[in-house]
Amino acid sequence: MTVTASPVPILKDNYAWLLRDSATGATAIVDPADPQPIIEAIEKAGGRLDMILLTHHHGDHIAGTDEVRARFHCPVVGATADRHRLPKLDKAVAEGDTVQLGNAVGQVIETPGHTRGQINFFFPDGPILLSGDTLFSLGCGRLIEGTADEMFASLAKLKALPPDTLVCCGHEYTESNGRFALAIDPENKDLHTFMGKVEQLRAAGQPSVPSRLGDELKANPFLLAADVGTFADARAKKDKF
Ligand code: ZN
Ligand code: FE
């Protein structure tokens, strides 16, 4: 394992993620929406920042980008499709492109659904997925700009990643996602086990994330949906839950 990821809690319920390539010490921050706690976390980790990665254009993911860039003078990477509404990009990327963090390589996966230009980053040397507002623990992002078909196809790409992948998502929504999941899938033993662990972590004041993709595959109703109709139905019910 060469890349590690630690959550930095910011705003009300967001997570930025601090990535570190252990071979070289190279460091990246994902979605630095609140500059002060992020600059503090980077200083505490050694004061080195090599790259800023952005998953999508929403303010709760990008707002602190220019301040963090000005402090550490590092390049900002985001989606080509959204460059008109992201902070100024030093590197614009699309499906199949890669980013280099020290010795580690991150793969860009386009995951439209929550927003049209959403991207995720996958580091096989982790394995670590930065899933933004596409895949949450026990949930998925709301369809703000995309269709159910698009989101279902995006989640299908993520489902194909290795089951030991650590899912590093953009929000601490797991408990409320889990309550919905239990309402529509009450007999799911894996889901009950998953929620038991989540409740322990949250009661202890710990983040519930990252989770393992293999556990999400057995408990997350949006990954369990066998077809796009089932997915769309679950997504519509969650919006009203
Ligand atoms: Zn968002
Ligand atoms: Fe968000």
Residue whose pair of structure tokens reads 């989770």 in the numeric block: 211
Ligand closest to Cα of 171 equals 2
How many A from CA of 114 to the centre of ligand 1? 7
Range of the domain at 181: 3-240
CATH number at 14 reads 3.60.15.10
Q: Which helix (H) or strand (E) holds 131?
A: strand 128-132
CA 135 to CA 121: how far, in whole Å? Answer: 12
pLDDT value at residue 8 = 98
pLDDT value at residue 218 = 98
How many A from CA of 61 to the centre of ligand 2? 6
CA 1 to CA 141: how far, in whole Å? Answer: 28
How many A from CA of 237 to the centre of ligand 1? 19
How many A from CA of 56 to the centre of ligand 1? 7
pLDDT value at residue 78 = 98
pTM over 0.95: yes
Residue whose pair of structure tokens reads 């980013």 in the numeric block: 99
pLDDT value at residue 214 = 98
Across the chain, which has 241 residues, the per-10-residue mean pLDDT values are: 94 98 97 98 97 98 98 98 98 98 98 98 98 98 98 98 98 98 98 98 98 98 98 98 94
Q: Inter-axis angle of helices 148-159 and 228-240, to 10 degrees?
A: 110
In one letter, which amino acid is 60? Answer: D
How many A from CA of 171 to the centre of ligand 2? 7
How many A from CA of 118 to the centre of ligand 1? 9
Q: Which helix (H) or strand (E) holds 95?
A: none
Ligand closest to Cα of 116 equals 1
Q: Which residues contact 240 (CB under 8 A, 6 or more apart)?
A: none
Ligand closest to Cα of 10 equals 2
Active centre residues (catalytic): 56, 58, 60-61, 114, 133, 171
Ligand closest to Cα of 114 equals 1
pLDDT value at residue 236 = 98
- Buried/exposed 83-119: b ≥16 CB within 10 Å, e otherwise: eeebbebeeebeeebebebbebebbbbbbbbbbbbbb
pLDDT value at residue 81 = 97
pLDDT value at residue 1 = 63
Q: Which residues surround ligand 1, an ion (CB under 5 A)?
A: 58, 133
How many A from CA of 4 to the centre of ligand 1? 23
CA 201, distance to chain mean position in Å, is 19
**How much is the CA Rg of the chain, to the nearest whole Å?**
17
Look at residue 38 and give its three-state secondary structure.
helix
Number of domains present in the structure of the chain: 1
